[in-house]
Structure formats: C-alpha cells, structure tokens
C-alpha cells in the first residue's frame, strides 16, 4: 500500500485537497495522511483544524508552526523542521502540497531533499505578491504537477518542466462546489446566526509586497464597506505579513448591524454563502476563481489578484473609498455568465486516474530540465 501525505496549512487549501483525499481514503492501494499546520492551528483564525477533524479522515497529525506574522522565514524553517521529522516517521511514497504558501514550500523542500516524490497542485499560475515567488519555487522543487488549466500547464513547460509530469485536472474545489451535499442557505444562516436576507461577502488579505500601505488601504476598504450601506459577511484575512493592520481596521465594524464578522467559515458553508450572495468584494482568490462558477459578481480591490484569470463578472478597482464605492454601484450593469476556467468538477477522478498509471510512480526523482526551444 502506498502512503500519500497531504500537507494543509489554511482553510482555503484544505478546501482544495479535501476532494482528493476523499478519492483515496478508502482505496485499497493508497493510505492517505494529513499533516495539519499553519492557520489551522491558530485560535485567532478560528482553529480550523476542527474542520479537518470533522471530515473523518483517519490519519491526521497536528503541528504548530506559527512564529509571528513578521517572520514568515522562521515559520518556513519551523515547518521544515516539524514536517521533516514527520515524514521520517511515516516514510511516504508521495507528498502532496498546494498553491503558494510557506507550508507548501516547506513540504516541497522536505520531499525533494529526502528523495520523496512531491506533487504540486495548481502550479504554473500567476499569483502576484510574494506568493508568486513561492508558487514557482514549489513547482521547481516538485516532481509531479496537477494544474487547473492549460494556461498553467504551458507556463510550467516554459519553466522547463517535463510534459509527462504534468496532469491537468482542474481546481479540486470545483468538485465540492457542485456537490449535492452542500448545506442549504437556511442551515448556514442558522448555524452562523446570519439574519440578512441579502448580503455580500468581504475578504481582504494583506499584500506583503505593499506592506507600507496596508494600514491605510485597510482603512479605505472598511470605510467603503460602511458607506455602501449594504449587508456584509466579513471573513478574516490570512495571517501573512500585514494582517494585524487589517484586523485592526475591522474593529470599526464590530457591533455594526450591517456586518457579521468571522475568523473563519467552514468551506462547504462558505460555498453556500458565496452561491447566495449578491457579490463578493476584496482581494481573495475566491472572487476570481469560485465566484465566476456561480455567476456571482466580484469587486476585485487592489493588486493582489491583478494577474489572475479574469472574466466579465469581475470588476477591478484601486484601494480607495471612492473608487470602491463607484465599482460597487457599477455591479448593477453586469450580467455575468457561469464559466468553466478551472475544470469541470471531476478533479478527484482525474487525480485518482493519474495515480493508477505507473508513469507517475516511475517519474525520475532526479529533476530534469526541458528546454523550451
């Protein structure tokens, strides 16, 4: 039986890998393990390890890696230390990491330096900020690539990755987005005590490469939300450098009748809220990835997502109160269509299919570089 370790550090990446873990949880040839760390282990951000445990997976290991928001490098080092000890105990055949967080980078470093195959989910995408450097670094440290679309595959080929190591499976969270088992909107609103009949979602993350301006921009964002006089479900940012400034700005929203603020929301519950929202505002990838699938408009604020895939349902604006308000008013002119940019909701099946082909397991641990010309 082959052992496969999935590394998860945030509520968002767990939503991505959950369908993949489900696809092999009861498979006779694979034994999945979850290494849970990062924001999952922080009470200030909802202690979302509880969500992982509720999923019922058999092999869950919890590890606290957080140092301080200003020391991402030390968090990386601590994650490497903890994950290295773990894989030496488990001795996995494959390590699966996702995206562009320091936890993914730690997993790829540990795997590559210990001669363990590393698979990277959603490599080849353009992230912006420090995430851009991390994502491409993880790709170069990985042996196997599960991309969300052909554009991402082409970028990996430009980076010298071998074509037989790349599998385009779509974005795994789309599998869950169209699941028949999502909770109803009434169930979600009851669970989180949300009384709004109509509402928008607000998610604003720090742009680490624009640290000096985060505090002022967070204030502009909050002032625009208040001035719009709409109802909002606000979800905390990730814990990257600058998050404390955003949380400080959110203090102005507490007790306000038009705002409900949460450190985190369970992924399936979040999807139901998104599906029934009037729009999503901020700079979360959910606005440029998940929202278009539901035909939900997005007000994309600032530069964090400026290089991601865009569609007709996404309106961009700078981080100023007046421009944000104008863009919110412009939403009335939109008539977005449902799109398929990141797969058709069959990522888990394609992932499992790839594992059942011997070519994956026979990929050379010694990375090869393919010239693009």
Please check whether residues 96 and 226 belong to one and the same domain: no
In whole angstroms, what is the distance from residue 38 CA to residue 232 CA?
27
Q: What is the mean pLDDT of residues 44-62?
A: 94
pLDDT score recorded for residue 335: 75
Q: What is the mean pLDDT of residues 62-78?
A: 87
pLDDT exceeds cutoff 80 at 32 = yes
CA 135 distance to own-chain centroid:
12
- For the chain, the first-to-last Cα distance in angstroms comes to 40
In whole angstroms, what is the distance from residue 280 CA to residue 289 CA?
11
Q: What is the mean pLDDT of residues 128-152?
A: 93
Confidence of residue 343 (pLDDT cuts 50, 70, 90): confident
Please check whether residues 147 and 18 belong to one and the same domain: yes
Q: Find which of 27-36, 61-70, 364-373 is predicted with most confidence, using mean pLDDT.
A: 27-36
Residue with tokens 């301006």: 213
For the chain, the farthest-separated pair of C-alpha atoms sits apart, in whole angstroms, at 60
In whole angstroms, what is the distance from residue 297 CA to residue 282 CA?
12
Flag whether 112 is in a domain.
yes
pLDDT score recorded for residue 240: 87
For residue 227, give every residue at least 6 positions away whose Cβ sits within 8 Å of its Cβ, in sequence order, or none.
321, 325
pLDDT exceeds cutoff 70 at 69 = no
pLDDT score recorded for residue 156: 97
Please check whether residues 60 and 83 belong to one and the same domain: yes
Fill in the DSSP letter of residue 299: E
| Residue 251, burial from CB neighbour count under 10 angstroms (0-12, 13-18, 19+) | exposed
Flag whether 366 is in a domain.
no
Q: Which helix (H) or strand (E) holds 89?
A: helix 72-90
Q: What is the mean pLDDT of residues 112-124?
A: 97
pLDDT score recorded for residue 232: 98
Per-residue model confidence as pLDDT tens digits over 169-185: 999 999 999 888 899 99
pLDDT score recorded for residue 309: 61
In whole angstroms, what is the distance from residue 249 CA to residue 217 CA?
9
Flag whether 372 is in a domain.
no
Please check whether residues 83 and 221 belong to one and the same domain: no
Structure tokens at 271: 């999807």
In whole angstroms, what is the distance from residue 141 CA to residue 285 CA?
24
Flag whether 82 is in a domain.
yes
Please check whether residues 126 and 7 belong to one and the same domain: yes
For residue 27, give every residue at least 6 positions away whose Cβ sits within 8 Å of its Cβ, in sequence order, or none.
352
In whole angstroms, what is the distance from residue 285 CA to residue 308 CA?
8
Structure tokens at 319: 């981080």
Q: Domain range for residue 118?
A: 2-178+345-361
pLDDT score recorded for residue 307: 72
Residues above pLDDT 90, as percent of the chain = 79
Q: Which helix (H) or strand (E) holds 322?
A: helix 321-330
Average pLDDT, the chain: 93
Please check whether residues 129 and 207 belong to one and the same domain: no
pLDDT exceeds cutoff 80 at 127 = no
pLDDT score recorded for residue 208: 87
Per-residue model confidence as pLDDT tens digits over 187-197: 999 999 999 99
Structure tokens at 229: 């006089």
pLDDT exceeds cutoff 90 at 28 = yes
In whole angstroms, what is the distance from residue 123 CA to residue 184 CA?
33
For the domain that residue 38 is a member of, what is the CATH number? 3.40.50.2000
Backbone φ and ψ of 6, nearest 5°: -105, 130
Return the CA Rg of the chain: 20
pTM for this prediction: 0.90
Residue with tokens 């011997």: 358
Please check whether residues 174 and 190 belong to one and the same domain: no
Per-residue model confidence as pLDDT tens digits over 271-315: 999 999 999 999 999 998 899 999 999 999 998 887 776 778 899
Q: With contact defined as beta carbons under 8 Å apart, do 278 and 191 qualify?
A: no
Flag whether 293 is in a domain.
yes
CA 158 distance to own-chain centroid:
24
pLDDT score recorded for residue 68: 74
Please check whether residues 259 and 306 belong to one and the same domain: yes
pLDDT exceeds cutoff 70 at 246 = yes
């Amino acid at each position: 039986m082959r052992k496969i370790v999935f590394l998860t550090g945030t509520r968002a990446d767990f939503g991505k890998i959950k369908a993949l873990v489900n696809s092999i949880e009861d498979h006779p040839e694979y034994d999945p393990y979850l290494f849970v760390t990062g924001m999952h282990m922080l009470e200030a951000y909802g202690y979302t390890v509880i969500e992982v445990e509720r999923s019922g997976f058999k092999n869950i290991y919890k590890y606290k890696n957080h140092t301080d928001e200003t020391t991402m490098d030390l968090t990386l080092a601590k994650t490497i230390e903890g994950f290295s000890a773990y894989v030496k105990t488990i001795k996995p055949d494959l390590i699966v990491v996702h995206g562009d967080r320091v936890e993914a980078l730690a997993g790829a470093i540990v795997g590559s330096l210990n001669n363990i195959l590393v698979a990277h989910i959603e490599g080849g995408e353009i992230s912006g900020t420090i995430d851009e450097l991390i994502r491409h670094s993880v790709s170069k440290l990985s042996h196997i690539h599960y991309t969300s679309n052909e554009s991402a595959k082409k970028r990996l080929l430009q980076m010298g990755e071998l074509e037989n190591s790349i599998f385009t499976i779509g974005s795994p969270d789309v599998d869950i987005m169209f699941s028949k088992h999502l909770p109803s909107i009434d169930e979600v609103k009851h669970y989180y005590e949300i009384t709004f009949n109509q509402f928008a979602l607000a998610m604003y993350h720090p742009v680490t490469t624009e640290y000096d301006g985060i505090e002022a921009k967070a204030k502009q964002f909050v002032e625009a939300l208040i001035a719009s006089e709409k109802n909002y479900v606000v979800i905390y940012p990730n814990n990257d450098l600058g998050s404390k400034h955003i949380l400080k700005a959110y203090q102005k929203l507490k007790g306000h009748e038009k705002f409900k603020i949460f450190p985190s929301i369970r992924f399936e519950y979040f999807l139901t809220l998104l599906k029934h929202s009037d729009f999503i505002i901020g700079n979360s990838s959910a606005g440029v990835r998940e929202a278009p699938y539901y035909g939900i408009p997005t007000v994309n604020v600032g530069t964090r997502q400026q290089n991601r895939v865009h569609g007709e349902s996404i309106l961009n604006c700078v981080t100023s109160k007046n421009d944000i308000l104008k863009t919110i008013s412009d939403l009335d002119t939109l008539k977005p269509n449902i799109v398929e940019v990141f797969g058709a909701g069959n990522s888990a099946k394609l992932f499992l299919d790839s594992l059942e082909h011997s070519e994956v397991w026979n990929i050379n641990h010694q990375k090869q570089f393919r010239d693009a010309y």
